Amino acid sequence: GDSVTQMEGPVTLSEEAFLTINCTYTATGYPSLFWYVQYPGEGLQLLLKATKADDKGSNKGFEATYRKETTSFHLEKGSVQVSDSAVYFCALSGGETSGSRLTFGEGTQLTVNP
């Protein structure tokens, strides 16, 4: 079935450091890919999305490119801030197995220190 694998956390960075959180997927068909962010005590917020190969999703300085050849959707940000501290989830839907369901990765805890 469809699956999503994220790099293991937690990740700790200093403010203004470069961020990469790796995400790879396994799916048949043509899935859409998403990154969600969850701040402490809150629900998940959609951060960005990409619906087809080579699409780049971007929002709030974060970017991710849908790479079908490497089945990846890595999240990047050039300069992180303390306020970016949160848990980040990679997810997919629309694969032949997942259909209308979201398949999530396990999440990556990011802590940014001043």
Partner 1 sequence: DAGITQSPRHKVTETGTPVTLRCHQTENHRYMYWYRQDPGHGLRLIHYSYGVKDTDKGEVSDGYSVSRSKTEDFLLTLESATSSQTSVYFCAISEAGVTAQYFGPGTRLLVL
Nearest approach in angstroms of CB 34 to partner 1 is 6
Task: Give the C-alpha separation, 54 to 76, whole Å.
Answer: 15
Query: Is residue 8 close enough to count as binding partner 1 by CB under 8 A?
Result: no
Give the side-chain half-sphere CA count within 13 A for 75. 29
Task: Give the C-alpha separation, 94 to 33, whole Å.
Answer: 9
Going by C-alpha positions, the residue among 90, 88, 87 that lies closest to residue 103 is 90
Query: Is residue 10 close enough to count as binding partner 1 by CB under 8 A?
Result: no
Nearest approach in angstroms of CB 44 to partner 1 is 4
Q: Binding string, 84-113, against partner 1, x = CB under 8 A? A: -----x---xx----xxxx-xxxx------
Task: List residues binding partner 1 (CB under 8 A).
Answer: 32, 34, 36, 42-46, 49, 89, 93-94, 99-102, 104-107
